[in-house]
Structure 1
């Protein structure tokens, strides 16, 4: 029996997916982190992983959950994934990932799914696999459950500023707070907490949104608005790099710390470059 070109993957395909992600482990860490943690069964993933097969081999994949994330696509695979997405209808809040694949998908989906609320076609993907070039901020540390009431409002502020709407829309923030709490529990949340205007506040924070063997992806980097322009971002990010490389290690692999950033956020790009992060690719995001 011939395998269909596009299928919903299950655990039997987990090894093939991880092998596919290894073609560009930094760009594909979002998908590899989930598959490495729970496999490919949609009931555990919280979404579907579509596979494109050619001559019996997995040639491309696409995560279809809250986001649509392509992995290793070419024009033929993009056509196949876009056709499936159109048949299913839009269930995601964004397309995100390597720019070539995301923009090709959007070109095919826009007539059916458009217009988008925002298209960000040029998001530098940066990475570092060494100690930071600037001294880490010693006040940045892993957060604890006791920090959650201070940390959560900072996370809401960052999300709203970055995405354009509040994560508390819909369920009052219950789902988002659980996600923030989960990252704290997993040791993937870092912050500096100081006195600001007489109150203890988060002045810098960042999380590790994806963790796969050898590669992590930082998300949610944020500096308190009242303290921007004071040089907190570079040493804060240097601390995140140093703490991550110390806490997350894999035998035989040097830990790579990565993130992607909007190209128009020149201050942030410059801060990350001062830390020693280098441009290794380009992402794109389509927001609905």
Structure 2
């Protein structure tokens, strides 16, 4: 493999293919790559769909691609998160598919080393995310945590449990109640407050989810959130649920099952026919709840946190 730096940017030749930084004209082909596995690629598809509306430059990220015989076969979104998408190609045998994956990861690793670390995480299907991290580790150094087993689950039918009729969309005037629940969920999950050094970005994210009708809550009589979930990524016919949380003093009551059933029902009717999520493999309690709702595992994600 060799890296080539020109006035136009970086090109990487690896194995039978060639990598390059993609532009707006490449977005249809990049979306076609993502469409080969919509659930696995939804985090990247969100950014690509945004780029088709406003242009790649205005998204604040970069898009890398790997081509074989002039055909785009893999992409990697580079923004706040690094998201590799390397789907299995139709009518491709296992040996050639493995070779393409390896060469694509070598290519994206070369781009990442040349650019330096600008992201807060690497996330995606486990073989791609972990394979990319293996190639970046020597140059990027320390990592905070590697979550290498995150079952990717979907439901594309009515939930198997009765939806909670009190779960509904959050309202803009409820921001002051919703934000603390979001912060507590994030802190429990990641280990630090999302407000630290965010410059208001996290608060804007929560407001945006409420505004865009992507935030679901159940409130108690005092106006506090007891259950919440968000549609953190919606693209390509898939809505990915993120940020599922039940207030600690209400856990064990089945609120997550009935609450998720309500979110799934509303989402499939109004947003997307396929609802997905991913969770840590060690969180058996949550995974069991999702299975009771009707989710089934279709793959495995991995996340590298910096």
Q: Is the 8 A contact 2:113 2:139 kept in 1?
A: yes
Distance between the aligned counterparts of 1:259 and 1:84, measured in 2? 29
Q: Secondary structure at the match of 2:66?
A: strand
Distance between the aligned counterparts of 1:157 and 1:237, measured in 2? 19
Q: Is the 8 A contact 1:49 1:62 kept in 2?
A: yes
- Is 1:179–2:193 an aligned residue pair? no
Q: Secondary structure at the match of 1:139?
A: coil
- Is 1:122–2:149 an aligned residue pair? yes
Distance between the aligned counterparts of 2:131 and 2:155, measured in 1? 28
- Is 1:213–2:208 an aligned residue pair? no
2:248 corresponds in structure 1 to 225
Question: Structure 2 length normalisation: TM-score?
Answer: 0.87
Q: Is the 8 A contact 2:237 2:274 kept in 1?
A: yes
- Is 1:279–2:297 an aligned residue pair? yes
Q: Is the 8 A contact 1:9 1:41 kept in 2?
A: no
Q: Is the 8 A contact 2:155 2:295 kept in 1?
A: yes
Distance between the aligned counterparts of 1:19 and 1:42, measured in 2? 17
Distance between the aligned counterparts of 1:105 and 1:123, measured in 2? 17
Aligned length: 277
CA RMSD of aligned residues (A): 1.5
1:106 corresponds in structure 2 to 133
Distance between the aligned counterparts of 1:64 and 1:28, measured in 2? 14
Distance between the aligned counterparts of 1:279 and 1:185, measured in 2? 31
Distance between the aligned counterparts of 1:175 and 1:115, measured in 2? 25
Q: Is the 8 A contact 2:24 2:56 kept in 1?
A: no
Q: Is the 8 A contact 1:96 1:286 kept in 2?
A: yes
- Alpha-carbon distance, 1:83 to partner: 1.1
- Is 1:90–2:133 an aligned residue pair? no
Q: Is the 8 A contact 2:49 2:235 kept in 1?
A: yes
Q: Is the 8 A contact 1:29 1:210 kept in 2?
A: yes
1:252 corresponds in structure 2 to none
Distance between the aligned counterparts of 1:218 and 1:80, measured in 2? 31
- 2:178 is aligned, of 146, 151, 155, to 151
- 1:6 is aligned, of 15, 19, 37, to 19
- Is 1:62–2:80 an aligned residue pair? no
Detail structure 1 runs of 4+ shifted over 6 Å in the superposition: none
Q: Secondary structure at the match of 2:281?
A: coil
- Is 1:237–2:255 an aligned residue pair? no
1:31 corresponds in structure 2 to 44
